[in-house]
Amino acid sequence: MALEKIKRVAPEVERAALVHGTLLDTVDYIKRHGFDSFHYYFPMFTTEEIEEMESKGIPVRPYTVNDPKWLAYFLSLPVAGVITDDPELAIRIREGQ
């Protein structure tokens, strides 16, 4: 599997699950497949699920968040980052401008 090869060849490279749907047990899925982090389509997961993953040491990054209200919301959560097409807007929101 490509992810196993990446882990052998370049262990410093983060391997992320990219999900556009629901999973029965997200934490188990991530651990079973050897992912380091979790990137998900932002409407698909609850705040509680995000906080659970982050509390278990799994970096979470919602994608593709371009709406200012959603950006502000996710930037207020304990996520590792937010994937957006408008990084300048995200920075302005993060800095309170």
By three-state DSSP, how is residue 9 classified? helix
- This prediction has a pTM of 0.85
Q: Tens digit of pLDDT per residue, the chain (97 long)? A: 687 888 899 989 999 999 988 888 999 999 998 899 999 998 888 888 888 898 999 999 999 999 999 999 999 998 999 999 999 999 999 998 6
Categorise residue 57: left if φ over 0, alpha if ψ from -120 to 50, beta otherwise.
Answer: left
pLDDT at 4: 81
Indicate the domain borders of the chain: 2-6+13-94
Instruction: Give me the DSSP letters along 22-73.
Output: --SSHHHHHHHTT-SEEEEEGGGS-HHHHHHHHHTT--EEEE---SHHHHHH
pLDDT at 24: 87
How distant, in Å, are the alpha carbons of 31, 39, 43, 49 from that of 21? 18, 11, 9, 14
User: Structurally, what CATH architecture does the domain formed by 2-6+13-94 represent?
Assistant: Alpha-Beta Barrel (3.20)
